[in-house]
Amino acid sequence: MIRKNYIFIVTCIVLFMGIISISLAWTDALTFDEVAHIPAGYSYAALHDYRLNPEHPPLPKLLSGLMLLPLHPNFDTTQDFWNNTHGSGEYGQWDAGRHLLHHAGNPTDKLVFFARMPFVLISLMFGIFLFYWGKKIGGIVTGLFALILYAFDPNVLGHNHLVTTDLAIAAAFGIAFFFFLQFLKNPTWPHVLYGGLALGIAQVTKFSAILLIPFFGLLLIIYPLFIILPKTQKRYRVFGGYIAKGICAIIIMFVVMYITYLPVTYNMPSDILPTIAAVKGQPQKYARDKYLMAFIDKTNQHVLTRPLATYTQGLMQVFNRVDDGNVSYFIGTVSSDASPWYFPFVFVAKQTFVHLFFYVVAFILALLLIMQSLRRLFTQKITYSLHACRRFCMRRFHEISLGAFIVLYSYISITGNLTIGFRHLFPMMPLLYVLTARVVIGSYTKLHNKFWQKIVRNTFIVIIIALIAIVINAYPYYISYFNALFGGPKNGFHYVTDSNADWGQDLKRLKTYLDQHPEIYKIRIDYFGGDNIKNRIGDKYIMWWDSKRPIEPGYYAISTLLLQESLHRTDRAYDDTYHWTDKLLPIDQVGTSIMIYKVE
């Protein structure tokens, strides 16, 4: 029945995902990072100038900016944020966003909604692609399972409608992996072209895609050494063919990167890039910066080489930011030094129980398969064992490659110094969905007992229905989703904040809340996010912050990120924080990220 109606099932899942995403694109307020990304994308598309937000590659922001061109928004480039001459902050991108979205007379909600639409579309198309990928390696049911794990992941639904690079890089990683593995299996020239294009698109989506180059290079060396060849073929010729075609794919990747960067940089004056580096501060803080800056200065002099300079500038900034860390709250501490437990914790806390269950099942099944294969190897002669080992690796090369990268990326995330949210795990998530689906469904098809087949099938259906119910019940709080073990979406901020729980998404909901409570005629607000409080709340708004004194009688609305960071910082005097809230219980919680207090 499923195999006959799979097109209908895929359509229903994608439609569900689309309805949820479009509704959230309108109801979620402007989040923090979108303030920098939206004006940057518009400036790339309208002005062909890359001075705003060079820390991220252009493609996702450019797609967003192209959607804004027909709206002809006001964007005054005579102001300080564009000239970078009056200390306007980190390249002026935040001031540019506040100008475009809040102070230039543009319709904020309309601009934000249209800017978000390309990301919704990418997420839907990628869901269909994941189904195709799963179907190709394991059949229709495997494809459907991979799609379900993706479409009903609250973290995906929380971020696939935001103007950020996170969902886009997840799609780019998945597509790059698919085409590269296709190339290894069948190294034809069309696959070289597709692989190079996919790898290039990943590089202009987010700088973390640079990890794919050495990893794919390693696979490119290993695969022709393990592949079982007929006696008529010479291994060194096959190996040389793979290397040559891999180099061609790399050349195609660079062409894609250059073609993407050139249209958004050719109108940028040559004196802008050095100014960006100076505003960022300490351009030679790390030893590598000396050489990177020398390359940037040299390639920035001509419009045809400026794409190389802008790419390198962004790469340098990302390296430095990862090394510097980011101040964040995590289980009672506020620090810029990353905890190795951060990503394991957010992974467990922000995945549904159903996802965690299937990941554990897939891990156990894979472990059993490996142990079974090893037992067979040790019972054979050494020559047969080596041959059998090679055959096993080739037969399972797809799964081994995905699993190896998931382990590598997890290790890099855990040992890195940048901890600002589950969203930084997105590059490995599509691989995890596909790998889980392949292992679980592949193991099910090996069951020959019809009784156990029926038990497993019915249990599987019940669990999937439970997953759908969990996701529907969590609407619309997907950004702040935590599973029940950690208190659900409304209590996760007690453990970790930032884009895990509070990114400013609830300010529209605060406006609705105040409209429903006319007794609150004035409210003091300390808000973290990208929306404009004055424009949204109007005359009811009084600006507040944690050290402002005296504490006045009345109502307070405090973002959970600012609340937690104030309560747990060790470099502030007790009376300059929100510790006065310890004696109060919040009278309400707007959405999941804004606490309402009343001081008598």
Contact, 532 vs 108, CB < 8 A?
yes
Amino acid at 556: Y
Residue scoring higher pLDDT (290 or 200): 200
259-264: average pLDDT: 96
CB atoms closer than 10 angstroms to residue 128? 15
Do 422 and 517 share a structural domain? no
Angle formed by the axes of helices 306-324 and 272-280, nearest 10°: 0
Do 469 and 497 share a structural domain? no
Do 553 and 442 share a structural domain? no
Looking at 415, 441, 474, the residue that finishes a domain is 474
Task: Determine the pLDDT at residue 289.
Answer: 78
Measure the CA–CA gap between 129 and 179, rounded to whole angstroms. 12
Element (H, E) at 62: helix 59-68
Measure the CA–CA gap between 25 and 525, rounded to whole angstroms. 24
Of 225-229, 479-483, 581-585, give the lowest mean pLDDT range: 225-229
pLDDT band at 326 (very low <50, low <70, confident <90, very high): confident
Strand partners, 524: 542, 556
Measure the CA–CA gap between 124 and 113, rounded to whole angstroms. 16
CB atoms closer than 10 angstroms to residue 244? 11
444 in any annotated domain: yes
- Is it the case that residue 90 has pLDDT exceeding 60? no
Alpha-carbon distances, residue 60 vs 125, 224, 535, 537 (angstroms): 15, 35, 28, 31
- DSSP sequence for 240-260: HHHHHHHHHHHHHHHHHHHHH
3-state SS string for 354-366: HHHHHHHHHHHHH
- Residue listed under structure tokens 């102001």: 79
127 in any annotated domain: no
Do 427 and 359 share a structural domain? yes
508 in any annotated domain: yes
Do 363 and 286 share a structural domain? no
Domain count, the chain: 3
Task: Determine the pLDDT at residue 231.
Answer: 75
85 in any annotated domain: no
pLDDT band at 511 (very low <50, low <70, confident <90, very high): very high
Q: Which DSSP symbol is given to 302?
A: S
- Which of 122, 118, 115, 113 is closest to 42 using CA atoms? 115
Which tokens go with 108? 């904020």
Do 383 and 306 share a structural domain? no
- Which of 147, 145, 206, 226 is closest to 400 using CA atoms? 226
Residue 547: CB partners within 8 Å, gap ≥ 6? 572, 576, 577
Measure the CA–CA gap between 559 and 472, rounded to whole angstroms. 25
Measure the CA–CA gap between 271 and 44, rounded to whole angstroms. 17
Measure the CA–CA gap between 194 and 319, rounded to whole angstroms. 29
Of 120-129, 224-233, 252-261, give the lowest mean pLDDT range: 224-233
558 in any annotated domain: yes
Count of helix runs (H) and strand runs (E) in the chain: 24, 7
Strand partners, 596: 557, 588
Task: Determine the pLDDT at residue 86.
Answer: 44
Q: What are phi and psi of 554, to 5 degrees?
A: 135, -160
433-445: average pLDDT: 94
Alpha-carbon distances, residue 521 vs 257, 419, 517, 556, 597 (angstroms): 53, 39, 9, 12, 14
- Is it the case that residue 282 has pLDDT exceeding 60? no
Q: What are phi and psi of 526, to 5 degrees?
A: -120, 100
Do 554 and 460 share a structural domain? no
Strand partners, 272: none
Of 365-369, 485-489, 556-560, give the lowest mean pLDDT range: 365-369
Contact, 80 vs 92, CB < 8 A?
yes
Put residue 105 in one of left, alpha, beta given phi > 0 → left and psi -120 to 50 → alpha: left
- Dihedral sign of CA atoms 388, 390, 394, 397 in order: positive
3-state SS string for 408-470: HHHHHHHHCCCCCCHHHHHHHHHHHHHHHHHHHHHHHCCCCCHHHHHHHHHHHHHHHHHHHHH
Tens-digit pLDDT profile for residues 357-369: 999 999 999 999 8
Measure the CA–CA gap between 51 and 35, rounded to whole angstroms. 15
402-411: average pLDDT: 96
pLDDT band at 279 (very low <50, low <70, confident <90, very high): very low
Contact, 139 vs 151, CB < 8 A?
no
pTM, to two decimals: 0.94
Angle formed by the axes of helices 353-378 and 382-395, nearest 10°: 150
Mean pLDDT of the chain: 91
Do 468 and 529 share a structural domain? no
Q: What size, in residues, is the chain?
A: 600
Task: Determine the pLDDT at residue 16.
Answer: 97
3-state secondary structure of 588: strand
Do 585 and 496 share a structural domain? yes
Q: Which DSSP symbol is given to 543?
A: E
Do 426 and 530 share a structural domain? no
Do 463 and 373 share a structural domain? yes
Q: What percentage of the chain carries pLDDT values higher than 90?
A: 74
80 in any annotated domain: no
- Residue listed under structure tokens 């047969």: 384
| R_g over Cα of the chain | 26
- CA 243 to chain CA centroid, nearest Å: 31
427 in any annotated domain: yes
Alpha-carbon distances, residue 435 vs 146, 215, 241, 398, 438 (angstroms): 8, 18, 29, 9, 5
3-state SS string for 43-102: HHHHHCCCCCCCCCCCHHHHHHHHHHHHHCCCCCCCCHHHHCCCCCCCCCHHHHHHHHHH
Looking at 300, 334, 368, the residue that finishes a domain is 334
16 in any annotated domain: no
Strand partners, 588: 596
3-state secondary structure of 4: coil
Do 589 and 514 share a structural domain? yes
Q: What percentage of the chain carries pLDDT values higher than 70?
A: 94
- Is it the case that residue 480 has pLDDT exceeding 90? yes
Domain extent at residue 503: 492-599
